[in-house]
Amino acid sequence: MLNLSQIKTILVTGGAGFIGSNFLNKYVLQYPDIHFINLDKLTYAGHLDNLKSVEKADNYTFVQGDICDLLFLEELFKKNNFDAVIHFAAESHVDLSITNPGLFVEVNVLGTHNLLALSRKYNLKRFHHVSTDEVYGELGDTGYFTETTPLAPNSPYSASKAGSDLMVRSYVETFGFDATISRCSNNYGPNQDLSKLIPKFITNLVKGDKVPLYKDGKNIRDWLFVEDHNDAIWEIFTKAEKGSVYNIGGNNEKSNMQITKTLLEKLGRDESSVEYVADRLGHDFRYAIDATKIKIDLGWTPKYNFEAGITKTIEFYKAKIEALN
């Protein structure tokens, strides 16, 4: 377990992205005695507008930079005397990983290793690595991923995340380094990039455009509201034993078609707004998380059911669209 009183400065990578920005917007304000330094390259998925609520906070600093640039990273570590790292930064767009697999290996594997090597060199107290349930591959109609499910990734994206997970594990096993890993189900909520299913579909429907649904829409995911995910990360970061791996799920297993129909109903559209498109390559049929371990060990359970989470998400994107018009 981490002694939080000893943590004065945390490096948060990818903090201008979807999950990282939601994390910072909550925990920077909740822990004013901890300095949160946000390192983000500001690619297509990272936006400083996501951080308006904390950008002027005394305990928050933004640094633009690349986790693949080892010389830059070392100077950052020397300058800031970090106590811990929470590592969100990753290339995560599955379709992009199919067209450019090398980028995902570079960012997700090499970038993670750079952070691990420097964290070990400078004796950081904890390194938390944010991963995905996609490292497990796909499920059939029944069953759930547990923390002991073998890794069997099917896309270049998930393979690169599995590689980064194994690199973290190797630092724990070989060097005794204090690191933890979380693997989450599909996230949704405010600040998500518009290329992702839920924000893309909300935005299209509000604007009167059609939504592109892969194949027959039967692919199934467990949907996790982003605030629940970040609360689980904080529990793992502060309470878990060194080397722990935890699955984080939302207990909201739904097909893409069910998601689509929910959005159509809530936004007053019908199925004529759906355009069926060719399935993506390597598209896993079903993911579902068994989050029993984190519930038993750390007492975490999701606060949001899907109805509450999707209502907040729709409100966020509608307000964002209205602000732009």
List active site positions: 133-134, 157
Computed on alpha carbons and rounded to an integer, the radius of gyration of the chain in Å comes to 19
108 CB contacts (<8 Å, ≥6 apart)?
A: 90, 91, 157, 160, 161, 163, 164
Is 275:211 a contact under the CB 8 Å cutoff?
Answer: yes
Tokens of 17: 């992205």
Neighbours of 324 (CB within 10 A): 6
Neighbours of 216 (CB within 10 A): 11
Distances from the Cα of 161 to the Cα of 65, 91, 153, angstroms: 20, 9, 9
Instruction: Please report the sign of the dihedral spanned by the C-alpha atoms of residue 16, residue 130, residue 192, residue 69.
Output: positive
N-terminal to C-terminal alpha carbon distance within the chain: 48
Residue 39, SS3? strand
Cross-sheet strand order for the sheet of 186-188: 186-188, 220-225, 253-255
